[in-house]
Structure 1
Amino acid sequence: MQAGQHLDKVIDSAIARQRIVGAVVLVARDGEIVYRRAAGHADREAGLPMREDALFRLASLTKPMVAATALKLADDETIDLAAPVTEWLPEFRPRLADGSAPDIALHHLLTHTAGLSYGFLEPAGGPYRLARVSDGLDQPGLSMAENLARIAAAPLAYAPGTGWRYSVATDVLGAVLQQASGMPLAQLVQREITGPLRLRETAFGVVEASRLAVPYRDAKPAPLRMGDEEVVPFIGNPAAFAPGRIFDASSFPSGGAGMAGTADEFMRFLLSLRTANRAILRAAEVDRTGPQAATQGPGWGFGYLGAVLADPKAAHSPQSPGTLQWGGAYGHYWFHDPLRDIAVVQLTNTAFEGMSGTFPRDIRNAVYRDFAPTNG
């Protein structure tokens, strides 16, 4: 049997059926790359094929790198994860509906249990939309100070530590890290993560614009090329994109969505969790919310770097307990199964199919059929 034949079929089918425009898919087993493929187009209209070294707007693939930076600073005691955000951002005091302003700890930011939200999770008229909070994907030129003020002006969804909701928490964390270190977030992430791992093309900016994949959005019969400002429906609510934000140096460095990079370099980051950053993986593998949070559906909790699989049977997943996974709004998906020692990076240029459509699920299932057929 040819290695990766099920993966090839999944990728070929998704492109032929125009569910995605282009993709780069990498699979590692036991720390070694066992499958790599670039398929489809980086720019469909120009006829440019996808390249293995294509650059992508990483969206929420930024989060685990910023979280890892925070864990590095916690390890050297620059920050204390139990400390309140107000230790570094004294004006950041969002309130509950009763008017109280409970402490939000850095731990709450890392686990998305702070009571914060995302505008794209709310309908029109939701508090984050009324406050014009940026999700880190839109509003080029918006400053960090202004966005923090907008977040603080919106009510908390629940008391910190009493619920789970995906949110702008990592943007707030990025602001804390800047204050705690006295360095811009971009330089800090470079010092702690991308520099030591030699991730020279992963940054809060684009190193070579000609290699940046053109973003597309879900549509029938085929995905549509995104414009300068694009609104894409997501679970019934509008999500705002401004693809040009990545080129605007005046935009605040979004710890939740602001970086660009390649599939190879993100895989190198994941594989570093097996070796140089093993302590970070041990911290990240712990489910700190419980599977009742259902962060990726039934059976999924959340740790410090992403969702943590607690119950594979409930999740209908071939992955092992302790698997970490998450995605990115521009069309990405990754996971790391520490028991099977499998890591997968799947970057596409199609939102939202590449993140939360059937494509990432099909990729996951094909990986286990091709490279771990004895599992489940």
Structure 2
Amino acid sequence: MHARAPAPSPDLSARIDAAIARAIDEKRIVGAVVLVARDGETVYRRAMGLADRELNVPMREDTLFRLASVSKLFVSVAAMVLISQGRLSLDAPVTTWLPEFRPTLPDGSAATITIRHLFTHTAGLGYGFLEPEDGPYHRVGVSDGMDRAEISLHENLRRLASVPLLFTPGTAWLYSLSIDVLGAIVSAAFGGSLPVAIGALLARPLGLADTGFVVPDPARLAAAYADDSPAPRRMSEPDRIPMLEGLADIVMDPSRAFDPEAFPSGGAGMIGRADETLRLLEALRKGGEPLLPTALVCEMGRVQTGEVAVAGWPGWGYGLGFSVLKDAAAAGTSESPGTWRWGGAYGHSWFVDRARKLSVVAFTNTALEGMSGGGRFPQEICRAIYGG
């Protein structure tokens, strides 16, 4: 049975245009860049709304964004490149590269965390915004990677390792700082800082001129906005974004993007463009060249979590660096089983439907409305693409 292809380009364009315009008119987002590639060709590209509302700067296709958790895609692929080179191993313990990173189990006994556990968020780690305000990460000062913590990556990992794991590695799933740990391992295995490693392993091979940890052109960086009524509000520095009732807020400081001393957070600290993110996704969708062998791309896209529930994502499992669709009906989506998806808290979503040869990037400057799992906008873009 052949998968139903998305609608022809004129209809596709009209539907996506309408979805973006509606979100802007309803003051749910300030601006967006949306790109759709089908069978290797970019069939839709649009920048709408404003990159900076107060300065009346229009959104452009080359606008730069704070990537937040879209960073996880880049760092995960960099780690896979090192695996393809034999410099990392999926099932080796993290202490091979980070000998001091030894968080214990809740009872104080030793635990073994593997590289695979980090990729899949099954290591027993968490996030500060997924615990109460007085939780253990807050008590020891762990940074979630989006604030202006005046600490090094090494110090943040030291603090993280001082807190007992939330569960035995491999037995449960919890979204976590594990990609920050993986970023430190990429740095150690590569033999240079994480920004240098990303440049050598990903950015230069793919020609990603603006993707990294430093803003190459501050004038092109979109302002950051947060959900509010009657319109999104410009984020303060720092800002606190409510995520889940009863848990701590996400602390986000847009000024972090301009701080050359901010530690390189592999899970949340990168800067990039929509079209360069699409270039990476398309390289993976087509089989991995020039970065990875096809077998490793397939391993990334394989559900690694078995029957372990991915909390908050019914119908989805988790691969090596992103969620993977298991049950479209349970997820309430038209995407094909096996679709890869993730996003970022500053207002981003992306997905790759390999069965339909489809890659989509939708970046906004509005948290959390534009985020996969956060607001309506990603689902509206998805429905527009599939004609539903």
Q: 1:162-311 residue pairs with structure 2 within 5 A?
A: 162-236=171-245, 237=247, 238-273=249-284, 274-275=286-287, 276=289, 277=292, 278-290=294-306, 292-295=308-311, 297-311=313-327
Structure 1 stretches lacking a partner, 5+ long: none
2-structure distance, mates of 1:92, 1:148: 7
> Judging changes above 3 Å, is the alpha-carbon distance between structure 1 residues 30 and 291 closer, same or farther for their aligned structure 2 residues?
farther
> Judging changes above 3 Å, is the alpha-carbon distance between structure 1 residues 279 and 295 closer, same or farther for their aligned structure 2 residues?
farther
Give the one of 13, 22, 32 matched to 1:13. Answer: 22
Residue matched to 1:346 = 362
**Structure 2 counterpart of 1:181, one-letter code:** F
Give the Å deviation of 1:292: 4.3
Residues 162-204 of structure 1 show CA distances to partners (whole Å, capped at 9, x for unaligned) of: 0000000000011112112211111111111111000011011
Residue matched to 1:330 = 346
Contact preservation (8 Å) 1:271, 1:343 = yes
Residues 93-132 of structure 1 show CA distances to partners (whole Å, capped at 9, x for unaligned) of: 1122211120100110011100000111112111212222
Residue matched to 1:362 = 380
> Root-mean-square deviation (CA), in Å?
1.3
**Structure 2 counterpart of 1:254, one-letter code:** S
Structure 1 stretches of 4+ moved >4 Å: none
Residues 47-104 of structure 1 show CA distances to partners (whole Å, capped at 9, x for unaligned) of: 1111111000011111111111111111111111111111121111112221112010
Q: Which secondary structure does the structure 1 equivalent of 2:250 belong to? A: strand
**Structure 2 counterpart of 1:138, one-letter code:** D
Contact preservation (8 Å) 2:104, 2:164 = yes
Contact preservation (8 Å) 2:12, 2:384 = no
Give the Å deviation of 1:2: 3.6
Contact preservation (8 Å) 1:215, 1:330 = yes
Residue matched to 1:122 = 131
Contact preservation (8 Å) 1:140, 1:245 = no
1-structure distance, mates of 2:97, 2:253: 30
Contact preservation (8 Å) 2:172, 2:308 = no
1-structure distance, mates of 2:311, 2:354: 19
Structure 2 stretches lacking a partner, 5+ long: 1-9
Give the one of 320, 331, 337 matched to 1:321. Answer: 337
Residues 130-150 of structure 1 show CA distances to partners (whole Å, capped at 9, x for unaligned) of: 222111101243201110111
> Judging changes above 3 Å, is the alpha-carbon distance between structure 1 residues 196 and 250 closer, same or farther for their aligned structure 2 residues?
same
2-structure distance, mates of 1:258, 1:203: 9
Identity of aligned residues (%): 50
The TM-score with structure 1 as length reference comes to 0.96
Matched, 1:145 2:154: yes
1-structure distance, mates of 2:141, 2:379: 33
**Structure 2 counterpart of 1:342, one-letter code:** L
Residue matched to 2:93 = 84
Q: Which secondary structure does the structure 1 equivalent of 2:356 belong to? A: coil
The TM-score with structure 2 as length reference comes to 0.93
Give the Å deviation of 1:158: 0.3
Q: How many residues align?
A: 370
Residue matched to 2:116 = 107
Residues 323-352 of structure 1 show CA distances to partners (whole Å, capped at 9, x for unaligned) of: 000000100000000001111100000011
1-structure distance, mates of 2:254, 2:97: 31
Residue matched to 2:7 = none
> Judging changes above 3 Å, is the alpha-carbon distance between structure 1 residues 26 and 182 closer, same or farther for their aligned structure 2 residues?
same
